[in-house]
Structure 1
Amino acid sequence: MEINQLKQELIEYSKEIGVQKIGFTSTDTFETLKQRLMVQQSLSFHSGFEKGTIEERTTPTKLMPKAQSIISIALAYPSRMKDAPKSRKGDRRGIFARASWGKDYHDVLREKLNLIGEFLQKKLDGVACKAMVDTGELSDRAVAKRAGVGFVGKNCSLITEEYGSWVYLGELITNVPFEPDEPIEEGCGDCNICVDACPTGALVQGGQLNAQRCVAYQTITKSFLPDEFREKLGNRLYGCDTCQIVCPKNKGKDFHLHPEMEPDPELAKPKLIPLLKMSNREFKEKFGYMSGSWRGKKPIQRNAIVALAHYKDETALDTLEELMHKDPRPVIRGTAAWAIGKIGRQDAYEMIEKAMEKESDEDVLFEMEKGLEFLTQKI
């Protein structure tokens, strides 16, 4: 079959299986990305979750020696929740970032990419494919940008004309020599809203992110949350959407094209106190299908405690006191003590002092001291 004809047939097929955008690019080395990654590494701006060496992340043929092209796909996800429950006094809720609403997007995109791979294998003999979504070596954004799917904005998100940045990305490396598409040159111009709006200044400048200062990164760490980020967390349990919410390119963009991506409001915006009482099994049963559950319940519960402190929710104190005394995890015990001090009810000082008598972990004791200090400042 003639390759250009196959490309057109594949584009049509991608629409049939619910892919919003598809683009094609070469397997040439991503030279600009390579230089940027070297700078990021030298400045310690990388998150540490990246897979592979810089060479593997920028040279597709290192991952598939006979690769000749890369197919990039984008699926649009919702930016607004229908019937979102309200967070009320005494019944406070946290929030998962939009990229964690509905079924884990890694699974959704892999299904689409596998269908595309099967389509090619039926059309041509000897087709080889390698699918990647987010956790692979290649940068989904760099591939999508070069494949003409969109441009990378100052908020480091891939922005499409039709769907803004509310898109999931994935790619398929293949040995089929498709004609590459042209990249889109459009950019952000003078707009700097996202850089100015970033809660922690993680967007050092347009297009450069210090991942370790990003709130989204901080929500998935497992140790004690540094004090400066506790103040910025608000009620976020997983991820951060600020730089996308403020983007003018996202104004009015809200698409509900995939039923499996629709959020369950009670899970995407869950009640905080019940979340703290969940067993591992309950957490997996409820939240396991969402991408935001991948680090387990500990970071989510730690963030829920910080959110309750943010709300100064006195109705949470009994639960927090129990965690401070009985939870086997030092991070949870210590964060609970800190939150009790932050909420600052009259009997909070006595609560923390009593727990200190039995506590032996130095990090937890340090958090307890912080809690007492909040209370001392109130007197």
Structure 2
Amino acid sequence: MTIDYSELALNIKQWGKELGFQQVGICDVDLKQHEAQLQRWLDAGYHGEMDWMARHGMMRARPDELLPGTIRVISVRMNYLPPEAGFAQTLKQPELAYISRYSLGRDYHKLIRNRLKQLGQRIEQAAGAFGYRPFVDSAPILERPLAEKAGLGWTGKHSLILSEQAGSWFFLGELLVDLPLPVDQPVDNQCGKCMACMTSCPTGAIVEEGVVDARRCISYLTIEFDGVIPEEFREPMGNRIYGCDDCQLVCPFNRYADITDERDYHCRDTLYQQPLHVLYQWTEPQFLKNTEGSAIRRIGHRQWLRNLTIAMGNAPYQPEIIAALELRQGESELLDEHIHWALDKQRDKRQAHVIEVLPNKTKRLVRIIEKGLPRDA
């Protein structure tokens, strides 16, 4: 059977859109120009405790080693911005839990992988048997450089792929194939002199244009890192308990991003704008039930509580928060480390709150008395 690969490429893009992808691009597998930068990033230790990144080394830049015979990558994007995302409203109410908007709905990994598998099957029906394999954050592969090479967008200074039409509120996926399809052309970088993403990062994790030190990134700290979060990052975390969207929120290209067509990505009521102390009261079975089918589930209940503990320390004084924190003491050394910090913060705010509502003469008396009281009195 003679195959018109130009026509097949056009069909693939149409089939991809029918399957729910907003954009489909095709590129070759040559990522040699990214290998030196990847090695510098690893050598600097910017991957933190994500040891698998160093373990796989340069395979991330060599898709044909991941799946021998691969000569093309079909790169896709799927929008995930939910309606009524409530970014600013939640961040401005520190007693509420802020969860990165990509994770408020159903876990995208299985959904996109299944769609990519269906795309492979459609290609097989048209072109006959061929080698292919779908990937969605499931293998050591440089998906952003591939997406850039396939024309889906350019790499912003926050290291995410940006599209003029869609901003950065989208997931990426790849279908590795052994078909000699025509490739697409990259698009021009349009960031210009804008530095908004770099200057808005709460922890200064974007150390240079396009380079993120994961060890300082709130997304890494709340999701990938399961240890004791350094004190210098706790207050900047605010009420962000799973991921962080700040670098995307300030990006001009995200102002007019399209809302997702996928109902699965819409916000779950059990997670959306919930009071911190309410989520903190979930037992492990409740956590597993309420996060079933969600990307959040993979961090586990203990790490969930650790993140909430820090947010509760950052929240305004509330008796309910102090009571909830005290009830969790003694459950684990990891949790206790953060609970003690959070309780100190809440008690300081309690004292400030009491003084604020007292008459001036009484305030002076309280300040005199406090000098002789122990910290936890």
- The two structures have a TM-score, normalised by structure 2, of 0.86
Q: Where does residue 109 of structure 2 map in the other structure?
A: 106
Structure 2 CA distance, aligned partners of 1:9 and 1:38? 37
Inter-partner Cα distance in structure 2 for 1:128 and 1:378: 65
Residue 276 of structure 1: how far off its partner (Å): 2.1
Separation in 2 of the partners of 1:82 and 1:91? 16
Equivalent residue number for residue 362 of structure 1: none
Q: In the alignment, is residue 222 of structure 1 matched against residue 226 of structure 2?
A: yes
Residue by residue over 1:324-346, the C-alpha shift from the partner in whole angstroms, topping out at 9 and shown as x without a partner, is 1x42x211123222211111179
Match of 1:323 in 2: 328
Aligned-residue offset at 1:185: 1.8
Which segment is superposed worse, 1-10 or 167-176? 1-10
Q: CA deviation at 1:80?
A: 5.0
Correspondences of 1:177-216 after superposition (within 5 Å): 177-216=180-219
Mapped pair 1:248 → 2:249 = no
Q: What secondary structure sits across from 1:308 in the alignment?
A: helix
The 1:144/1:83 distance shift into structure 2, 3 A limit, reads closer
Measured at CA, do residues 88 and 16 of structure 1 come closer, stay the same or move farther in structure 2, by a change above 3 Å? closer
Superposed CA deviations along residues 136-187 of structure 1, whole A, max 9, x for unmatched, are 1111111100000100100111001211001100101011111111111223
> Secondary structure, in 3 states, of the residue corresponding to 2:327?
helix
Please state if 1:146 is matched with 2:158: no
- The separation in 2 between residues aligned to 1:142 and 1:68, in whole angstroms, is 16
Task: Please say which of residues 252-261 and 195-204 is displaced more in the overlay.
Answer: 252-261
Distance 1:31 1:347, change over 3 A: closer
Matching residue within 275, 279, 297 for 1:275: 279
Equivalent position of 2:11 in the other structure: 9
Within 2, Cα distance between the matches of 1:100 and 1:65? 33
Contact 1:60 1:67 in 2 (8 A): yes
Moved more, 271-280 or 242-251: 271-280
Aligned to 1:27: 29
Deviation for aligned residue 1:260: 0.9
Distance 2:94 2:218 in 1: 24
**How many residues get paired?**
350
- Aligned residue for 2:271, secondary structure, equals helix
- Does the CA contact (< 8 Å) of 1:103 and 1:260 recur in 2? yes
Q: Which residue of 1 aligns with 2:288?
A: 284
Question: What pairs up with 1:64-75 in 2 under 5 angstroms?
Answer: 64-75=67-78
Which range is displaced more, 44-53 or 65-74? 44-53
- Does the 8 A contact of 1:89 with 1:313 survive in 2? no
Counterpart Cα distance in 2 of 1:17 and 1:347: 54
Mapped contact 1:150–1:161 kept (Cα < 8 A): yes
Whether 2:237 is the aligned partner of 1:233: answer yes
Aligned partners of 2:166 and 2:256 also within 8 Å: no
Provide Cα deviations, 1:30-69, integer angstroms capped at 9, x if missing partner: 1222111111111111144344522210111111111121
RMSD over aligned Cα atoms: 2.6
Q: 1:368 aligns to what?
A: none
* CA distance in structure 2 between the aligned counterparts of 1:298 and 1:281, rounded to whole angstroms: 12
Q: Which residue of structure 2 aligns with residue 125 of structure 1?
A: 128
1:82 to partner: Cα distance: 5.6
User: Counterpart in 1 of 2:357?
Assistant: none
Identity %: 27
Alpha-carbon contact 1:25-1:147 (below 8 Å) kept: yes
